[in-house]
A = this chain, B = another copy of it.
Amino acid sequence: MQNALIHHIQKFINLELSEIDLLESCLAISRIKKKDHALQEGQICNTMYFIAKGCMRQYIINSKGAEQTLQFGIENWWITDYLSYHNHTPSSFYLQAVENSEVIALDKTVLESLLIEIPNLERYFRIVTQKSFGAMQMRIKFLFTMSAEERYHHFNDHFPEFVQRVPQYMLASYLDFRLNL
């Protein structure tokens, strides 16, 4: 399953055989059971999670005590709290498995060593982060311009299989249905 990450990396950069060997020796699969947390609010996030199988989400508890899903991640996505990760500050978020998931949890120290050993990985992470940022720009556009119902239809049209995978209350909060229901 760590091959899922190596396969993903090779979509963006070339890896030498020795680099693949090194990656294989460092990457381990962790299993996170459905509803278990990889990160709780207030903890410092020192880990980036590559989702090899399953589904994770980033959420907050809002002022009414309700869970508010901000982001989902499925196969081939990275999920983390980047501000906490970079600034070493307590996280504002929860990271939780929506399904039984298999992730590659890369601790900062391991990742920093890998980036020194395989500098080309910087390119991989630069590109996937820029693409994720682009997706987030579209997400903000949709939050501003579509009604919750329009967001639901748009989401269902583009990700019909995903809509079947997640509990509807999580999807409703992700699409910000509080405004319209």
Contact = CB atoms under 8 A, between A and B. Distances in A.
B83 A135 contact: yes
B138 A133 contact: no
Contact of A144 (B70, B132, B137): B70
A140 B127 CA distance: 22
A122 interface: yes
A88 interface: no
Interface stretch (A20-28, A30-38, A56-64): A56-64
Interface of A: 58, 60, 62-63, 68, 70-71, 81-87, 92-93, 115, 119-120, 122-123, 125-127, 129-141, 143-145, 176, 179
Nearest to A62: B145
Interface centre among A137, A140, A145 (most CB of B within 10 A): A137
Indicate how many identical chains form the complex: 2
A173 to B, nearest CB: 8
B82 A137 contact: yes
A176 B92 contact: no
A62 B131 contact: no
A71 B138 CA distance: 12
A130 B136 CA distance: 12
A69 to B, nearest CB: 9
A86 B119 contact: no
A143 B136 CA distance: 13
B62 A144 contact: yes
